Structure 1
């Protein structure tokens, strides 16, 4: 029987001919996170979806300043077997042979990244995530050292790094950049700086240093690398607000769920919303990157957020997206949490990611979103699977026939909190709510 690597290599070869050109400034990009889905399929499967343009792997959830023996830690759900790296001299603490929280054996991620990239998709690695992320940066030096580690461990593979025994969790696979999904609202201990003094604004401190350091590494190679952020929808985001004002971001995946007052759902309820995505135009106008793109961040099923009410049907997504698409100069597309939920949310024979591609295509062509099911489908109307809320009729949506959420969506597991746990993961969806602090 051929090995997984052999099959993946053959699949990559077959995709190379069909690679599509990625445009960072397109308004039609679809993004989803992968790495924390319940009983998730491997990364190669997520990367084989033709509707997705950017896949964000989550998460590096432990910072060196708080990690075992000053190493970062990671969690990619069921993609790894639990084996971790041990420390090597010359990296962070300088000790040798001590156990860390950095996962070592995640065999499917390496070929998965290559499948994605062969298909013309970009792969980003995300820092942070939801609970139990408890990280902060103690100093500018800490921020720079962390950025140097990320570049060495996940950027272009260098013989000096490998020969010294330093970690390469994804082997020779190279990510296309890094995502900042910072969501810590409370800390297990009082955050202090490198001198032991209480740190001011630990939620946001140091990310501008990290991004500048990563950008300095990016400038040394010909290949294009990206920086993205996943702020909460309230302006200004308590975690990324300062760095968004000062640092060069390529993409912002604004989380329009789990914060009731500015959620995408609230925007469809007249008089109930302080919806903010359009207001992010003024925010990003101050960013150093004139071509930064802002994404509409949505849960990919009724199980993917703190409440099923945050979920929008494709028709509702179109109602929300159509005016933004034409009015927002920096609109970039749609972000979904997350790949597994999107794949299992089948509507009229099409997964949710494919429907998001259709929504953006309809907006781009200035046409109504056609939601009619094929004649073979027994479904007769697009409905929200757990709610009686109907989609708005204010935009040009074809409603002659539509799809019912597939019963397969009931196979999703969910927790009682706003976090969605995978079968082997302590890290959850980037959906922390704190209206008082974000």
Structure 2
């Protein structure tokens, strides 16, 4: 059969697409901010172990409330004491690490009352943490890379609207990354509709505190089955395996590092949507050394 020569422009385009497809490097995401003994943000990034940092949490917002951020023992936002975080955020970003503000968590007072409420929250986040400007920026004048949704209480409504409004701000020149931390039972009660928008870049599914879809007493089958459902059912660019970094970090679902690296990561890596591993949290990782144990396999 004769070989048909393709135009040079077409060949270059195909090469470019191949490079884009293969250029993503899997990494470790971690939640930081809920224990004053876990080191500073800059120290966390200086370890070289993490590719994504979720600053946790903005845990009061919506329904007309004045938003509040809670960073445990790190700083006091009520006295503008968290504006010093700006230097740490920029340091992390200079090292190629994406830094997100995480909304929600397991303790707080947050929900969205309407589509208009979602728009107002998105505007607040844009002006106070992203590319907008206001005289009061709780984390200083650094521009975060995006917003993480760790929604675990309150109303299940309008998170899709918030995602759309936030994503729309990307048109102003700097992409607003959207990430989420749903529970592993599919679909997630709070984020299912939002994830279906296809706007999320990274989704770190919480494969813990949920026995039906997590690792339990040597059984990896439930986790693998759930992973397959997640990676074939939503349009997110990358899916991460969310895990506790130490046995004490969660009620259940901790996976010994040797089990993770030998029995689980080789299987889930087969998915083209595999993005890496998410850990809760930096403090517990400090206690266990978990990220160091798995990093070369991730």
TM-score normalised by L of structure 2:
0.86
The aligned counterpart of 2:55 is 57
Query: Is 1:352 the equivalent of 2:297?
Result: no
Question: Of residues 257, 269, 272 in structure 1, which corresponds to 2:219?
Answer: 269
The structure with the greater share of residues assigned to strand is 2
Q: Determine the C-alpha separation between the residues in 2 that align with 1:148 and 1:122.
A: 21
Match of residue 383 from structure 1: none
Aligned to 1:237: 188
Query: Secondary structure, in 3 states, of the residue corresponding to 2:275?
Result: strand
Partners of 2:275 and 2:131 lie apart in 1 by: 27
- Measured against aligned partners, the alpha-carbon deviations of 1:64-118 in whole angstroms (never above 9, x if no partner) come to 316xxx311110111113525xxxxxxxxxxxxxxxxxxx321442121111111
Q: In the alignment, what sits opposite 1:43?
A: 41
Deviations 1:211-268 (A, max 9, x none): 11111111111x33310010000001000001111241000000000111111336x4
- Contact residue 92 and residue 99 of structure 2 kept, 8 A: yes
Gaps of 5+ in 2: 1-20
Contact 2:149–2:180 under 8 Å retained in 1: yes
Structure 1 residues 25 and 175: CA distance shift in structure 2, 3 A: farther
CA distance in 1, matches of 2:221, 2:291: 30
How much has 1:62 moved relative to structure 2? Answer: 0.7
Q: How far apart, CA to CA, are the structure 2 residues paired with 1:171 and 1:24?
A: 35
SS in 1 for 2:187: coil
Count of matched residue pairs:
277
SS of 1:303's equivalent in the other structure is helix
Q: Kindly tell me: are residues 320 and 47 of structure 1, through their superposed partners in 2, closer, same or farther at Cα, counting changes over 3 Å?
A: same
User: Does the Cα contact within 8 Å between 2:224 and 2:264 map onto a contact in 1?
Assistant: no
Counterpart contact for 1:153–1:169, Cα < 8 Å: yes
Q: 1:150 to 1:25 in 2, by over 3 A?
A: farther
Question: Rg bigger for which structure?
Answer: 1
Aligned to 1:322: 266
Pairing 1:8-407 to 2, within 5 Å after superposition = 26=24, 28-37=26-35, 39-65=37-63, 70-81=65-76, 83-84=78-79, 104-131=80-107, 133-158=108-133, 161-162=134-135, 167-184=136-153, 202-203=155-156, 205-221=157-173, 223-265=174-216, 268-269=218-219, 275-284=225-234, 287=235, 292-307=237-252, 310-318=253-261, 319-326=263-270, 328-345=271-288, 351-360=289-298
Q: 1:272–1:51: structure 2 CA closer, same or farther, 3 Å change rule?
A: closer
TM-score (norm 1): 0.60
Query: Secondary structure of 1:212's partner?
Result: helix
The question of whether the paired residues in 1 share the 8 Å contact of 2:249 and 2:280 is answered with: yes
Instruction: Provide closer, same or farther for how the CA distance between residues 157 and 248 of structure 1 changes in structure 2, counting only shifts above 3 A.
Output: closer
Please give the secondary structure, in 1, of the residue aligned with 2:295. Answer: helix
| Higher helix proportion | 2
CA distance in 2 between counterparts of 1:109 and 1:31 reads 19
Contact 2:76 2:82 in 1 (8 A): yes
Per-residue CA deviations over 1:183-203 (Å, capped at 9, x if unaligned) read 01xx5xxxxxxxxxxxxxx32
Q: Contact 2:182/2:203 (CA < 8 Å) preserved in 1?
A: yes
RMSD over equivalenced CA pairs, Å: 2.1
1:125-175 deviations in whole A, cap 9, x for unaligned? Answer: 0000012x23211111100010000000001253xx33xxxx201111111
Distance 1:24 1:83 in 2: 45
